[in-house]
Structure 1
Amino acid sequence: MDVPNEARADAETAPGLERDMPNCSIARTLEIVGEKWTILILREVWYGSSRFGDFERVLGCPRNLLATRLRKLVEEGVLATEKYKEPGTRSRPKCVITPEGIDLVPAVIGLMRWGDRHCSAPDGSPLLMRHHACGAHVEVRLRCLEGHPVPVEELDRVPGPGFRTKPVERDG
C-alpha cells in the first residue's frame, strides 16, 4: 500500500496512533526472540554450547520449554542443526548459529551492556567482551551508514518502504 506523502509526514510527528502495528519489525522480532530462555539459548550458543544437554545443564530450563525454544530458533533460521558423532555413540544433533543469528549479536550485546550498567552485581560485570585483535572492550554504538556516531537525540524516524497506516474506519 502506497502511503500518501501527507500521511507519511504525519507519521513522522505523530506518536504512532495511525501506524499499522502488526507490520512493526520490533514486534515481529520479539515474536521470535523476545522471551528470556530464547535470549539465554543464544547467549550459550555464542559462548560455545551446541548440544541439548549442555543447554539444559547450564540454563536449568525445563526440557519441554528448551526443546520448544530450540525448535522455534531453527524454524526461524536463527539456528541450524548439524549431526555430530562421538566415538562409540549414535549421531546426535547440535545447534549452530546461522548468519541470521549472527545478526542478533549486537542486540544481545546491547542487552548485556545495559544490564552491566543498570543491573549488575556490586562487584561488576560478570563477563566482558573484547576485540580479539587488539584487546579493547567492545561496545554497541549507533552509527549512520557514512560512519558518523549518532546520538539517540539525533535519530529521525521516517517511514520506510513497508510503512502502513491503519485502515480508516468509517461510520456507516
Structure 2
Amino acid sequence: MRRTSFANWPCSVARTMDLLGDWWTPLVLREAFYGIRRFGDFQRELGIARNTLSERLRRLVEAGLMEKHVYETQPLRHEYLLTESGRDFHNVILAMTSWGDRWLAGEAGTPVVTRHASCGHDAHADVVCSHCRQPMEWADVTPRPGPGYPAQLLNRPDVRRRFHLDGAQDPAASERPADTEA
C-alpha cells in the first residue's frame, strides 16, 4: 500500500510529517539524543523490529538527519550520528515533551525532566518569538503565505480564507481574547 506523500505540500508541518511518517521515527531520534548510535542499541532500547528500524534509519540518513559511519570493518558495522539538521530536531522533541508533560503526564508527574546545563535548572521548552522573545501562543499569531508559498495557489478561495487575504474574519477570532489596548 502506497502512502500519500506530503513532501511537496506548501506547509512545513505536512513536510515534517512526511519525513517522520510514523511514531517510530521520532522515537529513534529521541534515542539518538540520549546517545544511542548503534543498530543493536536502538533495537534493544525501543523493542523495534529489525526491518522497521532499518527502514527508519535509512529514511533518516536519506533525509539528512543522520549520517551512517563505519565503526567496524570485520564484520562491517555502522553507527548512526546526528547531523546538524538532526540535532536541530531536538527542539521539536522538546516541544513535544513539553506538551506531553502538561497534558499527558500522570499523577506521579513528568516521566523525564530536562536539565539545562547553562543555568543548571530543570526546564521545559517554550516557543518564543525570534524577534521580541515573547511567548508565541495560538491566540497571538496569524499564519500568512511566505516567499516559498506557490503563487498559483494564492487565488484559490480556500487558501484566501486560510490566510484571510480578502479581509475575511478569522473563524478562530471569536475564541481569541479581545485586544484590550485603547
Q: Does 1:154 align with 2:123?
A: no
Return the TM-score normalized by structure 1.
0.77
Partner of 2:117: 132
Moved over 4 A (4+): none
Alignment partner of 1:99 out of 59, 71, 84: 84
Relative to structure 1, is the Cα distance of residues 148 and 167 closer, same or farther in structure 2, using a 3 angstrom cutoff?
closer
Residue identity opposite 1:145 in structure 2: S
1:166 CA displacement: 6.6
Aligned-pair Cα RMSD in Å = 2.2
Q: Which blocks of at least 5 consecutive residues in structure 1 are unaligned?
A: 1-20
Q: Is the 8 A contact 1:141 1:149 kept in 2?
A: no
Residues in 2 aligned to 1:145 and 1:67: alpha-carbon distance in whole angstroms: 37
**d(CA) in 1 for partners of 2:124 and 2:105?**
16
1:76 aligns with 2:63: yes
- Whichever structure has more strand as a proportion of its residues is 2
| Structure 2 residue runs without a partner (length 5+) | 1-7, 157-182
Out of 154-163 and 77-86, give the one that drifted further: 77-86
The DSSP-based 3-state class of the residue aligned with 1:26 is helix
Higher relative contact order (CA 8 A, sep 6+): 1
User: Given the alignment of the two structures, is residue 61 of structure 1 paired with residue 51 of structure 2, yes or no?
Assistant: no
Matched residue pairs, number? 147
Q: State the Cα deviation string for residues 55-104 of structure 1 (Å, max 9, x = none).
A: 11110111111100110000000111112139xx6441001000001111
Provide, for residues 100-138 of structure 1, a one-character-per-residue CA deviation record: whole Å limited to 9, x for no partner. 011111111111121111112321112110111321123
1:114 alignment partner AA? W
Q: Decide whether the 8 Å contact of 2:71 with 2:77 is kept in 1.
A: yes
Relative to the length of structure 2, the TM-score reads 0.73
